[in-house]
Amino acid sequence: MESNITITYKSKSNSFKIDELLFGNIKSAALGKKYELSVVFIGPKEMQKINLTYRNKDYATDILSFPLSETSGEIFICRQKADQKSKEYDREKLNFLYFLFIHGLVHLKGFEHGSRMDKEEEKFRKKFKI
**pLDDT at 65 (0 to 100):** 97
Distance separating alpha carbons of residues 116 and 35, to the nearest angstrom: 22
**pLDDT at 3 (0 to 100):** 77
- pLDDT over threshold 70, residue 84: yes
CATH number at residue 63: 3.40.390.30
- The mean per-residue pLDDT over the stretch 77-104 comes to 94
**pLDDT at 2 (0 to 100):** 64
Distance separating alpha carbons of residues 48 and 51, to the nearest angstrom: 5
Please state, as a whole number, how many other Cβ atoms lie within 10 Å of the Cβ of residue 60.
21
**pLDDT at 17 (0 to 100):** 74
- pLDDT over threshold 60, residue 1: no
- The mean per-residue pLDDT over the stretch 102-109 comes to 97
Mean pLDDT taken over the chain? 93
Instruction: State the DSSP H helix or E strand holding residue 47, giving kind and residue range, or none if neither.
Output: helix 44-55
pTM for the model stands at: 0.92
In the chain, the number of structural domains is 1
Distance separating alpha carbons of residues 115 and 125, to the nearest angstrom: 15
Domain of residue 33 covers 5-127
